[in-house]
């Protein structure tokens, strides 16, 4: 298990500080695990870019990938639920699946608490499918944490063996991939039709993404070496993805519906130290691979970091943007000068990248819209040049109270967490219209 840098720990604690202030706070075990989840989210969005600036990559255990045929029809039932006015708080009874195509950018969003099983209260969202029919997350009780999937707002609780259990991603067919530490070793899991199974060869890794065809991607680790992998079946061990010459390792972070896999490749800066350089990378469905670099006309230069997400051809890269790099792509010698940490969002086909500054991008959708946070720790919805503040369940000035983590393809549903009036983290959805 990685030891987090001090800023990461401070952010995690500030995110969950309300949990330690009141007499109604659950016992310390639940608090520390909730803090760990906050750290993990920050690591994937803020600390990743900071590590790129330093030119040193902290290699995170990622893992597993899987392919199998799954033909069962699981089309979403139910009628759409209209969004309420901005700032309104409600209790969510059903999550109506979003429509894939986006229209005009929303003008307002309302927050609702996701229902949880009896006896549970503290909860948060960690994953969701493109339509936001399926959401997944964590539940905390007095002594432990549990996993949960919401199907149209109905909570289904289940347990994953080990510690630090988390659902990493879930497809539009309700198939989820998850990770945990079993005897301090990362282990990969798949949850399908109410059954949890260990992925073959998943000991030593963590799955990161699954698409609607059932392809799961992640990273395995042997010693200090990380490898991007995928499984060709649930009965076979993982297959390593190719790496370019000179690479010391690599990771995956997500997979698109067409099979494009994204992540990073790690290069050693020199043989005399452990310093490494992380380059955004993608593996295409035709078997080719390449570094991810914006069009030269964008004037951004070379990128250092990892592709964090891909959705219908749109990618987000948490990066240190280098100056003085060539138009051929990211430098691999670690000599580029970092000009700042930011997120770059663009469409791999059409180009036209957008550099997002002074915002932490947590998730994107198929239109390149995003949800995230501001430097003042406000949760936001950004679409078509319009930015909305996502309302808290209960305002707590000076603290991080809400964190969006999923945005539907049409941008009408955002899911994440928000502190309630008792300073307890609650899994929520924001409905936008």
Q: Average of pLDDT values for 308-313? A: 96
Which residue has tokens 């003085």? 324
What are the residues whose beta carbons fall under 8 Å from the beta carbon of 328, sequence distance 6 or more? none
Q: Which residue has the higher pLDDT, 418 or 59?
A: 418
Percent of the chain with pLDDT over 70: 68
Q: Average of pLDDT values for 103-119? A: 93
Are 291 and 307 in contact by the 8 Å Cβ rule? The answer is: no
Segments of 132-236 assigned E as strands: 134-140, 145-151, 154-158, 163-170, 176-182, 185-192, 195-203, 205-210, 216-222, 225-230
Domain membership of residue 49 (yes or no) is yes
Whether the per-residue pLDDT at 321 is higher than 80: the answer is no
For residue 20, give its domain range.
6-432
Cα distances (angstroms) measured from residue 153 to each of 132, 134, 271, 410: 10, 8, 52, 18
Are 207 and 64 in contact by the 8 Å Cβ rule? The answer is: yes
Are 409 and 312 in contact by the 8 Å Cβ rule? The answer is: yes
Are 392 and 111 in contact by the 8 Å Cβ rule? The answer is: yes
pLDDT digits (tens, 9 = 90+) for 149-186: 999 999 999 999 999 999 999 999 999 999 999 999 99
Whether the per-residue pLDDT at 82 is higher than 60: the answer is no
pLDDT digits (tens, 9 = 90+) for 16-70: 333 332 323 333 344 444 544 554 454 444 434 433 333 322 222 222 222 222 2
Domain membership of residue 18 (yes or no) is yes
Domain membership of residue 89 (yes or no) is yes
Whether the per-residue pLDDT at 428 is higher than 80: the answer is yes
CATH number of the domain enclosing 41? 2.130.10.150
Whether the per-residue pLDDT at 320 is higher than 50: the answer is yes
Domain membership of residue 228 (yes or no) is yes
CA gap 363, 316 in Å, rounded: 8
> Which pLDDT belongs to residue 57?
26
Domain membership of residue 395 (yes or no) is yes
Q: If you average pLDDT over every residue of the chain, what do you get?
A: 76
> Which pLDDT belongs to residue 85?
28
Whether the per-residue pLDDT at 205 is higher than 60: the answer is yes
- Which pair of structure tokens corresponds to residue 393? 């369940």
CA gap 427, 412 in Å, rounded: 17
pLDDT digits (tens, 9 = 90+) for 337-392: 445 568 989 999 887 788 898 899 999 999 999 999 998 889 999 998 899 999 99
Q: Which residue has the higher pLDDT, 320 or 380?
A: 380
Q: Which residue has the higher pLDDT, 268 or 76?
A: 268
Whether the per-residue pLDDT at 425 is higher than 70: the answer is yes
At 242 the three-state DSSP class reads coil
pLDDT digits (tens, 9 = 90+) for 282-304: 999 999 999 987 766 556 666 78
Domain membership of residue 1 (yes or no) is no
Are 176 and 191 in contact by the 8 Å Cβ rule? The answer is: yes
Give pTM, 2 decimals. Answer: 0.76
CA gap 416, 414 in Å, rounded: 7
Domain membership of residue 401 (yes or no) is yes
How many residues does the structure list for the chain? 433
At 41 the three-state DSSP class reads helix
Whether the per-residue pLDDT at 202 is higher than 60: the answer is yes
Q: Which residues pair with 200 in a beta bridge?
A: none
- Which pair of structure tokens corresponds to residue 7? 């800023």
Whether the per-residue pLDDT at 336 is higher than 70: the answer is no
Percent of the chain with pLDDT over 90: 51
> Which pLDDT belongs to residue 34?
54
Whether the per-residue pLDDT at 126 is higher than 90: the answer is yes
> Which pLDDT belongs to residue 376?
86
Number of domains in the chain: 1
Q: Which residues pair with 295 in a beta bridge?
A: none
Domain membership of residue 130 (yes or no) is yes
Least confident of 273-277, 297-301, 326-330: 326-330
CA gap 107, 385 in Å, rounded: 12
Whether the per-residue pLDDT at 102 is higher than 60: the answer is no
Model confidence at 80, in pLDDT bands (50, 70, 90)?
very low
Backbone angles phi, psi at 345, to 5 degrees: -120, 130
């Amino acid at each position: 298990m990685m030891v987090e840098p001090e800023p990461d720990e401070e952010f995690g604690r500030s995110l969950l500080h309300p949990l330690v202030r009141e007499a109604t706070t659950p016992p310390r075990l639940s608090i520390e695990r909730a803090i760990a989840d906050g750290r993990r989210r920050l690591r994937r969005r803020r600390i990743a870019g900071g590590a790129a600036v330093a030119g040193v990559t902290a290699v995170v255990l990622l893992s597993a990938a899987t392919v199998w045929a799954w033909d069962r029809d699981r089309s979403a039932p139910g009628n759409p639920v209209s969004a309420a006015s901005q700032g309104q708080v409600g209790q969510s009874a059903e999550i109506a699946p979003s429509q894939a195509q986006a229209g005009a950018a929303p003008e307002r969003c309302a927050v609702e608490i996701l229902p949880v099983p009896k006896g549970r209260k503290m909860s948060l969202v960690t994953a969701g499918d493109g339509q936001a029919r399926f959401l997944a997350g964590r539940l905390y009780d007095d002594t432990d944490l549990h996993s949960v999937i919401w199907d149209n707002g109905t909570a289904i609780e289940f347990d994953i063996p080990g510690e630090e259990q988390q659902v990493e991603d879930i497809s539009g067919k309700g198939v989820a991939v998850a990770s945990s530490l079993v005897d301090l070793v990362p282990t990969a899991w798949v949850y399908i039709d109410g059954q949890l199974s260990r992925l073959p060869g998943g000991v030593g890794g963590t799955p990161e993404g699954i698409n609607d065809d059932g392809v799961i991607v992640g990273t395995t680790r042997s010693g200090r070496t990380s490898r991007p992998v995928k499984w060709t079946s649930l009965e076979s061990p993982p297959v390593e993805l190719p790496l370019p010459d000179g690479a010391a390792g690599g990771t995956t972070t997500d997979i698109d519906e067409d099979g494009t896999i994204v992540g990073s490749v790690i290069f050693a800066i020199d043989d005399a130290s452990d310093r490494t350089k992380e380059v955004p990378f993608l593996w295409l469905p035709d078997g080719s691979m390449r570094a991810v670099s914006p069009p030269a006309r964008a004037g951004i230069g070379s990128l250092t970091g990892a592709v964090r997400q891909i959705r219908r051809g749109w990618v987000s890269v948490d990066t240190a943007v280098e100056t003085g790099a060539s138009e051929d792509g990211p430098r691999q010698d670690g000599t580029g000068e970092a000009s700042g940490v930011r997120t770059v969002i663009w469409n791999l086909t059409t180009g036209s990248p957008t550099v997002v500054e002074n915002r932490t991008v947590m998730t994107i959708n198929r239109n390149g819209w995003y949800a995230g946070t501001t430097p003042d720790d406000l949760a936001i919805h950004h679409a078509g040049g319009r930015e909305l503040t996502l309302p808290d369940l209960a305002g707590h000035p000076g603290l991080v109270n809400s964190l969006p983590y999923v945005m539907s393809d049409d941008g009408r549903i955002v899911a994440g967490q928000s502190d309630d009036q008792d300073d307890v983290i609650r899994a929520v959805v924001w409905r936008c219209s």
